[in-house]
Every structure is written in C-alpha cells, then in structure tokens.
Amino acid sequence: MIKKIDVNIKHMVYDYPTKSEEGFTQAEINSLISWFPTINTEKFDDAMTGNTCMMINDDIIHYPCDVYKALRCGLEGRDLTLAEFD
C-alpha cells in the first residue's frame, strides 16, 4: 500500500522545476531539502553517496530517482535498503 505522503514526496521530486530535464543540480537539491526542516541530513547524504550522476554544462546532475530515495531516507531517519540500492 502506497502512503499518501510517499506520493506527495514523489510528486515534489519529479515535478520540481529543475534546470535540466535529466535531474537535479546540488543547488536544486539544497533548495528541495530546505522544505523539510526536520530532515536527517546525515541519512540523506549517506543515501546519496555513491550514486551515478552526470555532468551537463559543468553542473553535476543527480537523477530524480536517487534524490527521491535519499529524501525518503532522510525523512524516515534510515539507511537505504538493499532493494533500494542500485
């Protein structure tokens, strides 16, 4: 069963007006997580560590799926599960 909060977070990430359609710059990630003052940034950062990313016009771009999973980890105060790691 999908929780309503999960759907809202997914929409926030996937509908975020990023500069690049491929994903998020670090500044955009910082803006997004600022909406959640109680987020565990250590868990968020841990979940983002080692993710595949790309360079576009000298910006590192992070995929929305990775930002979404990291956001959930930060909000839930947990590590990525094995099933979530890619």
Residue spans per domain, the chain: 4-76
What is residue 84's predicted lDDT score, i.e. its pLDDT?
A: 85
Phi and psi angles of residue 84, each rounded to the nearest 5 degrees, phi first: -85, -25
What is residue 86's predicted lDDT score, i.e. its pLDDT?
A: 73
pLDDT in tens, 22-65: 999 999 999 999 999 999 999 999 999 989 999 999 999 999 99
Residue 70 pLDDT exceeds 50? yes
pTM: 0.89
| Residues 70/33, Cβ–Cβ less than 8 Å | no
